[in-house]
């Protein structure tokens, strides 16, 4: 009886590295050109992969696009529990703004992909936003409502307060090149993000103080 050699499998670590490289390049291209402006061939070409090899990991461009958004959303949500889990409202504001600005600074391409999707009306990701972001928003609003009921902060429209927090920090990803241009520098520096953190935190907190 002839021995049958065991099938060789690609090491899991190697597979994960390849998938990570694909996601990074896909994120870069989707951020720059949008969903319609990117093809699987353009992503595969940069990575020196065949189209078939890329399709082995993601069966369509839309699946890869959603995987990029899942990666962005996963990292964002992992760091966005500052308000719902905080015991002190001032601490919650400080932590939330700091974390969101750090995300804007460290992952601008991911933010750009997300913003493009949102500005288009979220045609390919609305289901995830409703399932994941809406419960988080409601939890944050409820936390603010409890603090207001306890007399610890002023009562305002807390839903719009969250929109203000999102937009003011997101601007340092979406508009960073424009801000840097007006400040006559090649890009925003750590000091600029720190200045933004102090200003946004101070303005928001002063508006809530009793």
Query: Which parts of the chain have pLDDT scores under 50?
Result: 1-2
- The CATH homologous superfamily of the domain defined by 12-66: Homeodomain-like (1.10.10.60)
CATH code of domain 68-208: 1.10.357.10
SS (H, E, C) 61-94: HHHHHHHHHHHHHHHHHHCCCHHHHCCCHHHHHH
pTM, full prediction: 0.84
pLDDT at res. 59: 94
Contact 140, 86 (CB under 8 A): no
- Token code pair at residue 37: 């402006």
Q: How far apart are CA 28 and CA 109, in angstroms?
A: 6
- Do the beta carbons of residue 144 and residue 83 sit within 8 Å? yes
Locate all alpha helices (DSSP H) within 48-189, ordered by sequence. Answer: 51-57, 61-78, 82-85, 89-106, 108-119, 126-128, 134-149, 158-174, 176-182
Domain ranges of the chain: 12-66, 68-208
pLDDT at 11: 56
């Amino acid at each position: 009886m002839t021995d049958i050699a065991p099938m060789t499998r690609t090491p899991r670590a190697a597979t994960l590295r390849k998938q990570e490289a694909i996601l990074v390049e896909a994120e870069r291209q989707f951020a720059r050109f949008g969903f319609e402006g990117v093809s699987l061939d353009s992503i595969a070409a940069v990575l020196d992969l065949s189209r078939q090899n890329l399709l082995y990991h993601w069966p369509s461009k839309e699946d890869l696009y959603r995987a990029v958004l899942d990666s962005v959303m996963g990292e964002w949500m992992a760091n966005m529990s500052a308000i719902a889990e905080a015991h002190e409202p001032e601490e919650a504001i400080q932590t939330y703004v700091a974390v969101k600005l750090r995300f804007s600074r460290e992952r601008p391409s991911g933010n750009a992909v997300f913003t493009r999707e949102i500005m288009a009306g979220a045609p390919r990701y609305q289901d995830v936003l409703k399932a994941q972001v809406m419960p988080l928003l409601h939890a944050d609003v409820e936390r603010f409502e409890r603090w207001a009921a306890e007399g610890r902060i002023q009562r305002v429209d807390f839903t719009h307060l969250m929109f203000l927090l999102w937009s003011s920090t997101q601007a340092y990803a979406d508009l960073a090149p424009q801000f840097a241009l007006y400040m006559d520098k090649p890009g925003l520096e750590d000091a600029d993000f720190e200045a933004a953190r102090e200003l946004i935190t101070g303005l928001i907190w002063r508006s809530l103080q009793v």
